[in-house]
Structure 1
Amino acid sequence: MTKFLLKFMLLFLLFSCSSSKKAKFDDYVFHTKKEKQSYLSSYDKALKLWDIPYTEENIKTSFGTAHVVLAGPKNGKDLVLLHGMDASSTMWFPNIKSMAKNHRIYAIDFLMEPGKSTLRSKPLSKEEIVLFYNEVFNYYKLKNFDIVAASRGGWIATLLAAQKNNSIDKIVLLSPAQTFKFIDKMGKSSSALMLKLFPSEKKFGKTLKTFSTHPEKISPVYKRQFYLANKYAKSNSSMLKMTPFSNEELKSIKNPILVLIGDQDVINSDESLVKAKEFLPNSKTKMIKDAGHFLTIDQAKIVNEAIVNFLD
């Protein structure tokens, strides 16, 4: 498939799946109440995979309602979790026990994706994304907190860290999408784009094999939620604004940063680690063997140990 055709598919997908108009029931992501309810039911089931005590809160912001899942000791260091595209905060089920052992967890659902956060305005600009998260951070009075972020969440974490006078301490980037470079293997990742256009469970299975080296490790409960996210949600409008950061922007980030990428990732490659090491002044990088883009699932034990050791 030619690069031109892939770019055309991407543009068609993004514009056809996005809209600044309000749905009748005042929700940006889903088209009908039935779709939303079906998805939220699957979300609740998947969140139970965390298998630790947690609470859920809805925080009013200028842009809509932020849904936050809290866990871990209240006296632990604050740790914000930013999930990957369409994955929601439930995606942390293989990792949450180790991260919540010594940290107070704040897992935030992104407004413009499937989850329990609800956008009440037009799609957000980069500047508005920063304002949204800072409103949540200010609500919880978060200072000197850490961030662990995956895929699109990694791009958002980098965006937040590039802002002057931020309150972030350490950052872990798990195969951050479009952060150091554009998608590495566009041909292979096109299956995800096609899934958005023509959703089916058969195609979904193939997509998981593209992004994961061990799709058998993905819980059927979570797999169902992730499929419904891809089937129902029209949440890709912000992808066009997700451009890699300039060398100058990366150099401005002084936070200690750990960058982890799977050796079989279709989003990133060695080039991403090279650029991170060269332009992030205080960074460590590591390639995770036998892992794809879903490295938190493919090699959960290794990734969990790397995260905890870095944060501690």
Structure 2
Amino acid sequence: MLGEFPDEKTEKRFFAVYDDILRRWPVPAEEWDIETTFGPTRVRRCGAERGTPIVLLPGGRGASLSWYPHIAELAQRHRIYAVDTIGEPGRSVQTAPLENSEDCADWLSEVLDGVLAGSGHEKVHLAGVSRGGWLSLNLASRNTERIAGVVTFEASGFGVIGRSFIWWSLGEIFRWFLPKWLLRLIASGDPEARHILRPLLFAALEYRDQLPEMHLFGDDELASIEVPTRIVVAERSVIHDAREVAARLESLNPHIRVEVVPKATHGLSLERPELVTTRILEAARERHADAAD
């Protein structure tokens, strides 16, 4: 089974919103499709050509456009590749099913091959939010041939997602409809970004995905990661216990560092956009310094 919209009208409504937000993309960008076993994957390339390239993977149903609040600063310092995840709403076109975690790793590996081809670089830095974080760690635990380093924000794979997430999501949906002045009073982050991305979020909710379950990472998987990895989790996360994640990983793998962000929730990338941008740049800068040494 392949991911799809329920009807043509719903699909057109989503892409009308998608294209409207794309016109707001804050830096010049080039788009192209990377051919993979699972279908052509849309990638948006922008930014400076110096430093290690950074590949951005969005959370579920967010598409590459969900990186809108971060892209201007990131693109000042690095070549950025923002990906529409296969099997999710976006400009990527799924032609074969993703059956399991190995398929997900194969797809991302093929995308990185396409990104690196002709780039003059041998590796990229991966940055992922939620499901994008899971995809990053899933590949890094299997093969780091193309990966310089990984940074994730509220990555899935460290706890069972249940009712707490549903209740949190309902509260977030309510907040997305609040006026900007009220959002400034009760929610962290830039209310303008929420209002810009809101139509995309709700248009994407009608997409029928057919994705494999995101398995929980075992100790052996995480211990096998051989590149510098930052795992940033929210103190008030509803998909795992942040302190337990930190305690578990503290001595498991010297390549992994965990940061718990006080008072933040699973919406970390919107609540603390400056922190997310800074951590991505720090991780890439550290890798560049290590390579120079």
Q: Aligning the two structures, in what range does the TM-score lie when normalised by the shorter sequence? A: 0.7 to 0.9
2:183 corresponds to: none
Provide structure 1 residue ranges, at least 5 long, that are not aligned to the other structure: 1-19, 23-27, 196-201
TM-score (norm 2): 0.84
Please tell me whether residue 233 in structure 1 is matched to residue 203 in structure 2. no
Structure 2 SS opposite 1:64: coil
Q: Identify the match of residue 283 of structure 1 among 247, 256, 279.
A: 256
1:93 corresponds to: 68
> Does the aligned pair in 1 maintain the 2:59–2:131 contact within 8 Å?
yes
Listed as ranges, the matches of 1:187-206 within 5 Å are 187-191=163-167, 204-205=173-174
> Does the aligned pair in 2 maintain the 1:65–1:118 contact within 8 Å?
yes
Q: Deviations over 1:283-309 (max 9, x none)?
A: 222122332112121011122222212
Specify whether residues 223 and 55 from structure 1 end up closer, same or farther in structure 2 by C-alpha distance, changes over 3 A only: same
2:159 corresponds to: 181
- Give 1:90 deviation, angstroms: 0.7
Structure 2 SS opposite 1:238: coil
Structure 2 SS opposite 1:219: helix
For residues 173 and 305 of structure 1, the distance between their equivalents in structure 2, rounded to whole angstroms, comes to: 12
- Give 1:41 deviation, angstroms: 1.3
> Does the aligned pair in 2 maintain the 1:262–1:291 contact within 8 Å?
yes
Q: Deviations over 1:191-213 (max 9, x none)?
A: 478x7xxxxxx98326899xx95
For residues 302 and 117 of structure 1, the distance between their equivalents in structure 2, rounded to whole angstroms, comes to: 29
Q: Identify the match of residue 7 of structure 2 among 13, 21, 32.
A: 32
Q: Deviations over 1:79-111 (max 9, x none)?
A: 111110111111111111222222111111111
For residues 194 and 107 of structure 2, the distance between their equivalents in structure 1, rounded to whole angstroms, comes to: 31
2:237 corresponds to: 265
Quick one: which amino acid aligns to residue 173 of structure 2?
F
Specify whether residues 171 and 45 from structure 1 end up closer, same or farther in structure 2 by C-alpha distance, changes over 3 A only: same
Q: CA RMSD in A?
A: 2.5
1:255 corresponds to: 227
Quick one: which amino acid aligns to residue 165 of structure 2?
S
For residues 190 and 219 of structure 1, the distance between their equivalents in structure 2, rounded to whole angstroms, comes to: 19
Specify whether residues 208 and 111 from structure 1 end up closer, same or farther in structure 2 by C-alpha distance, changes over 3 A only: farther
For residues 311 and 298 of structure 1, the distance between their equivalents in structure 2, rounded to whole angstroms, comes to: 22
Specify whether residues 53 and 276 from structure 1 end up closer, same or farther in structure 2 by C-alpha distance, changes over 3 A only: farther
Structure 2 SS opposite 1:284: strand
Specify whether residues 208 and 298 from structure 1 end up closer, same or farther in structure 2 by C-alpha distance, changes over 3 A only: farther
For residues 275 and 143 of structure 1, the distance between their equivalents in structure 2, rounded to whole angstroms, comes to: 32
> Does the aligned pair in 1 maintain the 2:38–2:98 contact within 8 Å?
no
Q: Deviations over 1:146-171 (max 9, x none)?
A: 01111011111011101135220111
Structure 2 SS opposite 1:303: helix
1:299 corresponds to: 272
For residues 58 and 122 of structure 2, the distance between their equivalents in structure 1, rounded to whole angstroms, comes to: 20
> Does the aligned pair in 2 maintain the 1:144–1:169 contact within 8 Å?
yes
2:214 corresponds to: 242
> Does the aligned pair in 1 maintain the 2:190–2:270 contact within 8 Å?
no
Specify whether residues 208 and 251 from structure 1 end up closer, same or farther in structure 2 by C-alpha distance, changes over 3 A only: farther
Specify whether residues 192 and 113 from structure 1 end up closer, same or farther in structure 2 by C-alpha distance, changes over 3 A only: farther
Q: Identify the match of residue 111 of structure 2 among 128, 133, 136.
A: 136
Quick one: which amino acid aligns to residue 256 of structure 1?
P
TM-score (norm 1): 0.79
For residues 289 and 281 of structure 1, the distance between their equivalents in structure 2, rounded to whole angstroms, comes to: 23
- Give 1:224 deviation, angstroms: 0.7
Q: Deviations over 1:172-202 (max 9, x none)?
A: 010101x22323xx33212478x7xxxxxx9
Quick one: which amino acid aligns to residue 60 of structure 1?
E
> Does the aligned pair in 2 maintain the 1:45–1:221 contact within 8 Å?
no
Q: Deviations over 1:53-78 (max 9, x none)?
A: 11211222221110101111234421
- Give 1:135 deviation, angstroms: 1.8
- Give 1:50 deviation, angstroms: 3.3
2:288 corresponds to: none
